Amino acid sequence: MNSAAGDKTSLEELYQDLHQNPELSFAEHRTSALIAERMLALGLEVTTGIGGTGVVGVLTTGDGPVVMLRADMDALPVLEDTGLPYASTARGVDGDGADVPVMHACGHDVHMACLLGAVEQLVAARAHWSGTVVALFQPGEENGGGAQVMVDDGLYEKIPVPDVVLGQHVFPLPAGSLGAHSGPAMAAVDTLNVRMFGRGGHGSEPESTIDPVVMAAATVMRLQGVVAREVGPQETAVVSVGSLHVGTKSNIISDEARLGLSIRSFDEGVRSRVLASVERIINAESMASDAPRPPEFSYAERYPVTVNDPIATARTTAAFRAAFGEERLFDPGAIAGSEDVGNLASAAGAPLVYWLLGGCDPGEYAAAEAAGTIRSDIPSNHSAYYAPVPRPTLATGVEALVVAAREWLGNPAR
């Protein structure tokens, strides 16, 4: 593998390979094998199979801090529509056994390529730092809480416990920019799956049924009032019904409806209150419809608020400022997207610093900003059109990881 610093094409080729070969959560078999092979070739001590498909590489050059750099590996069940020559045509099997398209619609391919590039640079510069670098490639960030799965699988019995956890997430902001927010930086998420029960029958005789379509529709509309009427103006929460499945044919009234909700918050008090309100409304609408059974609730991903340690964030952003210049740094504020990287830090008792990496063509972003059309013209993460530009996104991401790591690593004895 050529130097990622001196040969961007090599890094871009790696990125394109990862982009073309995405894999779903906990099915990252090809991806983890590729990563392990690359890190072994660079001389790292590599442990595979942590939490299923997790991979960790460790490089120690002497006494000093243990610095963890983290990237996630999994992709999403999205049909890519970017038109890129290296667009994904991959397919996979989801948790329900369905055949689905697969795409790196959240930029995890960028995260992996940047971390491998950073590891290569740190290996090349090993005479200039002292300590231990832990490069962790995590499965299942999108579905299943892979960070906690790795911890529960004895992560910190198998690798050195970090003194700091560092990471980044590519975002639809101008490429070449970096953004970090101190304190609560990303929202907690609670993913809730609900079954609501009715009584099926013929579409011509709705009076003999309890229609779950009407029940679910009323529930969806009533849930819109949770944030609007039960969350204060100085508080923040999001309640989204992302999926609603009911019925098979126009003249058949089904027996049940299934809803999938994503609930976001930044405060534990707000979180508890919103979850209680959501469950109250769903139960109440079920009772109002005279449902034969109460609804069933099943929680899936439950990630805590991502909290950037204020002191560690100030130290890391000062290093960014010195390396990149003030004009390339920004504070994005708290964003409603969610992450599970904080579980790696909390389990280690270590501070977390997690920043955003711009991945949008700067000219396109500037034009959309001037026209007031960012929301419509700039594809967001999880979109079928999401495609970070490789240059300068990859080079910036590599340098950011290296700068952050070197800030925390020690200096070799002279």
**142: annotated binding-site residue?**
yes
**169: annotated binding-site residue?**
yes
What tokens does 232 get? Answer: 């204060």
Residue with tokens 């959560």: 25
Could you confirm whether 268 is annotated as catalytic? no
Give the closest residue to 304 by CA, choosing from 105, 150, 145, 108: 145
SS3 313: helix
SS3 287: helix
What tokens does 227 get? Answer: 């944030």
CA 374 to chain centroid:
21
Taking the C-alpha atoms of residue 90 and residue 81, their distance in angstroms, rounded to an integer, is 13
Give the closest residue to 198 by CA, choosing from 247, 252, 256: 256
**106: annotated binding-site residue?**
yes
E strands, 129-200, are 132-138, 164-174, 178-179, 183-186, 188-197
SS3 113: helix
- Give phi and psi for 264, each to the nearest 5: -120, 145
Strand order in the sheet with 66-72: 45-50, 54-60, 132-138, 66-72, 164-174, 352-360, 178-179, 329-330
What tokens does 108 get? Answer: 């995890």
What length is written for the chain?
414
**19: annotated binding-site residue?**
no
23, 28, 72, 74: the catalytic one is 74
Residue with tokens 């200039």: 128
What tokens does 401 get? Answer: 């990881």
Kindly provide the b/e burial profile for residues 112-151, where b requires at least 16 CB atoms within 10 angstroms of the residue's own CB: bbbbbbbbbbbbeebeebbbbbbbbbbbbbbbbbbbbbbb
28, 72, 120, 141: the catalytic one is 141
CA torsion angle 22 24 29 33 (round to 10):
50
Cis peptide before 292 (omega within 30 of 0): no
Residue 258 vs residues 216, 243, 275, 295: alpha-carbon distances, Å: 8, 8, 18, 10
Could you confirm whether 13 is annotated as catalytic? no
Q: 48: which residues sit within 8 A by CB, 6+ positions away?
A: 32, 36, 54, 55
Q: Which residues are part of a known binding site for Mn(2+)?
A: 106, 108, 142, 169
Binding site members: 106, 108, 142, 169
Q: Which residues are catalytic?
A: 74, 141
